[in-house]
């Protein structure tokens, strides 16, 4: 029987070895302490410094990588999942063994076993690249919103003045003796508008178009 379990375990490791996520089976002992009864070799995609055997021997190697906030939050989520038998989905910020920052997505599906304990079947996925892309896109969108605000608010004032001055000339509301003064106003409004346009162009040139390739 033990030999059959070991054989099944090894076969499952082979089947999941090339999948770039960590497929896991998590259980709790009689004292409700969590332990992994299965971890695929895909764990190396989350942290190359950790092996499946290490995680199964000491699940705290993963837990300790979480932020202090998530060290409190995620056990509560598992407790709620066990009590309601509902899937657990969450993301956690981690500091890997080499000090690199990253994000891990957790997806666990609970099941009560005959002993009354809970078993979760699920996976862990490194979503750091996705997070970086989303952050870069949000920065780009904010920069574009700033440019749009400048165009709709700051440009309007000198443009309105310039149009009003030109209209005054076109409708012959300007007396000959006032024309030189009005020309000065037109030049001032035009220069102000030119400076604003140059500022907009400079801001646009600083915006790096984000693609999945350059956001990583």
* Domain regions of the chain by residue span: 2-126, 132-206
Give all strands (DSSP E) within 29-68, no chain letters.
34-39
Rounded to an integer, what is the distance from CA 79 to the centroid of its chain? 26
- Cβ contacts of residue 192 below 8 Å, gap of 6+? 158
Rounded Cα distance, 169 and 185, in Å: 12
Per-residue pLDDT tens listing for the chain (216 residues): 555 444 555 555 555 556 678 999 999 887 878 899 999 888 888 999 999 999 999 999 999 999 999 999 999 999 999 999 999 999 999 999 899 999 999 999 999 887 778 899 999 999 999 898 888 888 888 888 887 777 777 777 888 888 888 787 777 777 777 778 878 888 888 888 888 888 877 777 776 665 555 555
Centre a 10 Å sphere on the Cβ of residue 138 and count the other Cβ atoms it contains: 11
CATH number of 132-206: 1.10.287
Q: What is the 3-state secondary structure (H, E, C) of 104-116?
A: EEEEEEEEECCCC
**Strand bridging mode 22-28 / 101-112:** unpaired
Q: pTM for this one?
A: 0.67
CATH superfamily of 2-126: PAS domain (3.30.450.20)
């Amino acid at each position: 029987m033990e030999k059959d379990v070991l054989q099944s375990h090894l076969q499952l490791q082979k089947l999941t070895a090339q999948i770039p996520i960590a497929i896991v089976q998590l259980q709790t002992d009689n004292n409700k302490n969590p332990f992994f009864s299965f971890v695929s070799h895909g764990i190396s995609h989350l942290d190359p410094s950790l092996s499946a055997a290490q995680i199964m021997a000491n699940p705290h190697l993963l837990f300790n990588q979480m932020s202090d906030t998530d060290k409190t939050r995620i056990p509560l989520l598992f407790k709620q999942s066990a009590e309601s038998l509902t899937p657990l989905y969450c993301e956690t910020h981690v500091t890997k063994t080499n000090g690199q920052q990253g994000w891990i997505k957790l997806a666990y599906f609970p099941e009560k076993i005959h002993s009354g304990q809970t078993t979760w079947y699920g996976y862990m996925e490194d979503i750091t690249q996705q997070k970086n892309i989303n952050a870069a896109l949000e920065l780009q969108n904010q920069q574009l919103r700033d440019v749009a605000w400048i165009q709709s608010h700051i440009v309007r004032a000198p443009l309105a003045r310039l149009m009003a001055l030109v209209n005054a000339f076109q409708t012959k509301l300007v007396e000959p003796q006032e024309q030189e003064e009005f020309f000065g106003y037109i030049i001032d409004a035009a220069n102000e508008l030119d400076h604003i346009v140059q500022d907009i162009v400079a801001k646009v040139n600083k915006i790096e178009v984000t693609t999945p390739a350059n956001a990583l």
